[in-house]
Structures are given as structure tokens and as C-alpha cells.
Amino acid sequence: MRFVLATFKSPAARQRKSKMSVRKRTWTTPKGEEKSAWVVDYNDQQGKRRHKTFTKKKEADQFSATATVEVREGVHVADSASVTVEKAGQFWIRSGEAAGLERSSINQRKSHLEHHIVPMIGQVLLSKLNVPAVRDFEDRMRKEGRSPAMVKKVLTSLGSILADAGERGLAMRNPVRDIRGSRKGRDGRQEKRQKRRLEVGVDIPTPAEIKTFLAALDDHWRPLLVTAVFTGMRSSELRGLRWQDVDLKRGEINVSQRADEFKKIGPTKSEAGFRTIPVPPPVINALKSHRLKQTNKTELVFANPDGEPRSHTNIVNKGLIPTMIRASVVVEVGKYEDGAQILKAKYTGMHALRHFYASWLINRKEDGGLGLPVKMVQERMGHSSIVITMDTYGHLFPRTDDGTELAQAANILLN
């Protein structure tokens, strides 16, 4: 029988093994010149021996102190084991493609990487990308004219790149997440102060404006735009709507898919997007008439002449905006030299009709009834959370705290 003697190293011995050393190295070049440098030798958290060379002892000492903490916390990545931000970004794009992200999302990733991230920090190693470096990147974007919204989006993309790199073992820290964590309270309060509420007559068409808008519709665009007004469906949902999802007898539309900007059919924006919307007679009548006139045999309700989904731009530029102008739902944007007004459509996006539908659900009083409760509004709009509904439209719900109750309470206390 054989016995194997196991040897155990004491904590002190392990500490000595992992302890970093800073030493001076001197050598002579082939030309006879004396050279010197400072070398930091250490073991990383996996026990692999590493070394890094510096020209000054101060730099070597600073690295030694930082690396000692990182190794102890298990977050150190040696430069030789790291990759550049550009390379990590390429991995991130491939991850999105493998996950089946929509083409528009992949294109946005590529745009952020190509036009913002790579030109400024593309060649920086992930191991050297810390909080000060990200702050400097943020400041440079602002100085070079990026809008606050774009800066925020690009930083989000950079954070996603680092998260993806972390899953691959290429980065142990995410400085973007660290910055966001420290700013969370402050930025949240600032964003809340700056966020403007949607206003009826500014962002949301009034009932009178919608009435004149509907009266100005031509036969070609009436079915689509009437459906948009009285269902609140997103543009992508309208463009992906199939006849099999329209129940003309029951007066219902089942939203089950959408068409993206590249005309690709896919699932709704979220699980909550799958919904059934009851529609009033004007929509049913418009759709019945549209079906009789539709010549191309396609399953799509609002297909273009080739049987494909219409483009969003086509709907806005040839349907929505001309109708707004014919209905005189316009605003003045300037004057010509002769003093004549320069007018443009007051509402230039399909989301304005979606906003109207939400406000109509909240405040409609047909047959002496009240508006719908917030949960039902959420379901009709296809919002993934009731928080989204309240954040967007909460101020439109009728208020009951008109002061009467407080006045009655005060009278009880005083009498």
C-alpha cells in the first residue's frame, strides 16, 4: 500500500507567492548603451505569472498597488490577456446577430461602434478602460457636438459591449455601470425635472382637430388612418396587420405581429403587444370597403401595390401630413418675403394618433359613461407595464381631489 504525503501551504506562504515585486532591470544594448526599466512581477488570480515593464519606478509602484487590489478582488485582467474596445465591439455585434436581434437593432449597434466609439476609444484595451477614461470619452462626445440623447445612447452601447466582454472573460469590470450606479439618483431627479408632459393641442390632437382630420381623408388613406385613430396601433403593427386578424363581424382586431422598417414581419414589440382591440363602426365600414377594392391577393390589410408592407415614411409623407394640411391642422413656421405665412402640418408623426387614442380612452363619455380605467388603457395600448401608461398619460386621467374633501375635513376640525 502506498501513501501520498499531501503538503499544504500556509496562508502566509500563499501570500508570499502572490505578492508582487517591483525590481529594476538593467541591460546593455548591442551598441553598448546602458538601459534600465522597472519590472512588476506578480501572479494573477488564476495563479499565472505576469510581468509588466515601466520606464519610471513611480509608474511601476502605482500599477503594483492597483493590481494587488484587483487580484485580491478577482477582477484583474492583464494587458496581454485583454482586447481593444473595437474588438470587443465586434464580438458584441456578433452576439446580437446570433441572438436574432432585429436588423434595425444590429444597424444601430454598428452605427454607434463605427461613428462614435471606435474613432475615440477603439484602440484602448479593455483592461485600461476605467471610470476616468469613460468620463473623458463622454466629455469628448459632448465637445464634438453629439446631442445629450446620442451621448446617453452611445454610453449604453458601451456598457453593453463591456457586459458582453465580461461574459467572455475579457473584462472584469464595467466602468459604465459604475458611473450609472453613482449617478442613478441624481440623473433620475434631473430627468424627471426636464421631462415635459404630453399636452393636448401640442403633442396630442384635440377631438376637434381629429374631426377635421377624418373629414379631410381621401379614399386611398382613409382605411389605414381611420384604423390608426380608433385603435391606437403602432405604425409597425398597422403595416403588419393581416386580414385573418380582423374580425369584421365581432368588430375586433387581434394584434399579433408587426413589420419592421425593412418590411420584415416579426413578433410584436413585447408580449403585451399581443392584444385584442374592439373597434367602432367607422373602422369596420372603412375596412369592409377597403377589402372590396383591394386588387392584390395578399394577406396584409395595408399592403403596397406589390403586396408587401408599406413603409412608415410613405404613410407619413403621403398620407398623414397631406391630410393634416388639407384639414388646416397646421402651425406657422415663418413668413415669405411678401408676408404670407409658411405653414406646416401640426402633427407629423403617427404616434400623435396613438396619443389621441389613449386620451380618447381615458376621457370618453359616450352614453353617459366614464373613461376606461388605467389597467384597461394599458391593455388596449399594448404597454408592457402599467408604469409606462401612468408615466405617459397619468396626468390625463380625471382628478377627484378637487379640494372638496379637504374642505369638509377642515370644517370638521374647526367646528
> Based on the domain organization, do 269 and 340 belong to the same domain?
yes
> Based on the domain organization, do 232 and 330 belong to the same domain?
yes
Amino acid present at 61: D
pLDDT in tens, 192-217: 555 678 999 999 999 999 999 999 99
* Residue-level pLDDT at 385: 93
Write down which residue in 194, 215, 247 finishes a domain: 194
CA 248 and chain centroid, separation:
36
* Residue-level pLDDT at 48: 78
> Based on the domain organization, do 134 and 249 belong to the same domain?
no
Residue 87: how many other CB atoms lie within 10 Å: 17
Q: Could you give the CA distance from residue 391 to residue 401 in angstroms, rounded to a whole number?
A: 19
407 within some domain: no
Q: Could you give the CA distance from residue 283 to residue 298 in angstroms, rounded to a whole number?
A: 20
Q: Could you give the CA distance from residue 180 to residue 261 in angstroms, rounded to a whole number?
A: 31
> Based on the domain organization, do 118 and 241 belong to the same domain?
no
Cell of 365: 363619455
| Dihedral Cα 55, 61, 67, 68, nearest 10 deg | 150
Count of residues making up the chain: 415
> Given CA atoms 250, 255, 261, 262 in this order, what sign does their dihedral have?
negative
Domain with residue 127: its CATH number is: 1.10.150.130
The C-alpha cell 534600465 sits at: 36
* Residue-level pLDDT at 49: 80
> Based on the domain organization, do 153 and 212 belong to the same domain?
no
Cell of 182: 453613482
Write down which residue in 76, 100, 133 finishes a domain: 76
332 within some domain: yes
> Based on the domain organization, do 144 and 245 belong to the same domain?
no
374 within some domain: yes
Q: Could you give the CA distance from residue 50 to residue 43 in angstroms, rounded to a whole number?
A: 6
Domain with residue 282: its CATH number is: 1.10.443.10
Helices (H), 195-221: 207-215
Number of separate domains in the chain = 3
> Based on the domain organization, do 181 and 278 belong to the same domain?
no
> Based on the domain organization, do 152 and 254 belong to the same domain?
no
CA-only gyration radius of the chain, Å: 31
> Based on the domain organization, do 248 and 277 belong to the same domain?
yes
* Residue-level pLDDT at 16: 43
pLDDT in tens, 130-158: 899 999 999 999 999 999 999 999 999 99
415 within some domain: no
> Based on the domain organization, do 126 and 51 belong to the same domain?
no
For residue 341, give its domain range.
207-395
- Flag residues of the chain having pLDDT under 70: 1-18, 45, 70, 73-81, 182-195, 365-370, 399-415
CA angle at residue 330 from 326 to 335, to 5 degrees?
Answer: 110
> Based on the domain organization, do 296 and 379 belong to the same domain?
yes
* Residue-level pLDDT at 43: 78
* Residue-level pLDDT at 370: 65
394: CB partners within 8 A, 6+ apart = 374
- Which of 357, 358, 361, 364 has its CA nearest to residue 388? 358
199 within some domain: no
201 within some domain: no
Determine phi and psi for 119, rounding to 5 degrees.
Answer: -60, -25
> Based on the domain organization, do 151 and 285 belong to the same domain?
no
